[in-house]
Structure 1
Amino acid sequence: MSHLFGVAIESLVAILLVVTIGYCMLLNTRLKRLKADEHSLKATIAELITATEIAERAIGGLKHTVRDVNENLGNQLNSASEMSLQLKKQLAESENVVRRLSRIAVAARPPEPQPATPEATPAKAVAAAAQAFSDRRRSNGLAA
């Protein structure tokens, strides 16, 4: 009986060894797959790092471009404001010139016949023309 008992134990140990070898083979397959995944993951991480560096450089370039555009736009806005002020001054001056010219034109019209005192009408026209001429001479010394 001791012999049978020894064979049973040896058989049990052999079966356990076969199961252990099978399990080791399964683990080996899984470890190979894990290693392959690790290499794939490392490659993906390297690509991600490269893409991040490229994006950072692009963002830096965009910041520089925005700064340049902001400076140029600021200069153009200042120039436009100055031009607007100059145009307003010129428009005001042109209104003065038109007003003076209209006075001169009114003064230079031939008098309309009036039934009352014919000599008083030419005198008023001469006085209006003189007034318009003196206004023209007074405004910054410009003769329009």
Structure 2
Amino acid sequence: MSHSLGVAIESLVAILLMLTIGYCMLLNKRLKRLKADEQTLKATIGELITATEIAERAIGGLKHTVRDVNENLGTQLASAAEMSEQLKKQLGECDNVVRRLSKIAVAARPPGAAPEPAPPPAPVPASVSSAKAVAAAAQAFSERRKANGLAA
């Protein structure tokens, strides 16, 4: 019995060794695949790092562009506000000139002449600026003076 027990134990050990060898071969294949995936993963990470650097440079360029545009826009807004104030002053001066011209025209009439009835003012749409309205009034005034023969 001791002889058959020894053979059985050695057979069992041989089977277990064969299973261990088979399992080691399976692990070896898996490790090779893992190594190959590691190389692919390293390449992917490298591409991702490159893309990130490019994006960071692009963002820096965009920030610089936004800063330049913001400075330009601020300058243009200040210039536009300044010009708007100048136009307001000029329109005020134009109103004064038109008032003085109308006083001169009234004073230049002969004493017995009846004042010419002024045509009703044309309705001015809300979108027409006050400068256009002043120019239209001056044009109408000069046409009335030409009709009376008082204009040069």
Give the TM-score taking structure 1 as reference length: 0.75
1:103 aligns with 2:78: no
1:15 aligns with 2:9: no
Name the structure 2 match of 1:3: 3
2:56 is paired with a residue whose SS is: helix
Which deviates more, 20-29 or 39-48?
Answer: 39-48
1:110 is paired with a residue whose SS is: coil
2:25 is paired with a residue whose SS is: helix
After superposition, residues 30-45 of structure 1 pair within 5 angstroms as 30-45=30-45
Question: Matched residues in 2 for 1:33 and 1:96: separation?
Answer: 92
1:88 is paired with a residue whose SS is: helix
Write the deviation string for residues 12-66 of structure 1: whole angstroms up to 9, x where unpaired: 1110011001100111111112112211211111111111111110010001101
Name the structure 1 match of 2:82: 82
Question: Matched residues in 1 for 2:110 and 2:48: separation?
Answer: 91
Write the deviation string for residues 101-130 of structure 1: whole angstroms up to 9, x where unpaired: 00111111223369xxxxxxxxxxxxxxxx
Question: Matched residues in 2 for 1:11 and 1:92: separation?
Answer: 117
Deviation at 1:78, TM superposition (A): 1.0
Q: When you count helix as a share of all residues, which structure comes out higher?
A: 1
CA radius of gyration, larger in: 1
RMSD: 1.4
Give the TM-score taking structure 2 as reference length: 0.71
2:57 is paired with a residue whose SS is: helix
Structure 2 segments unaligned to the other structure (5+ residues): 115-152
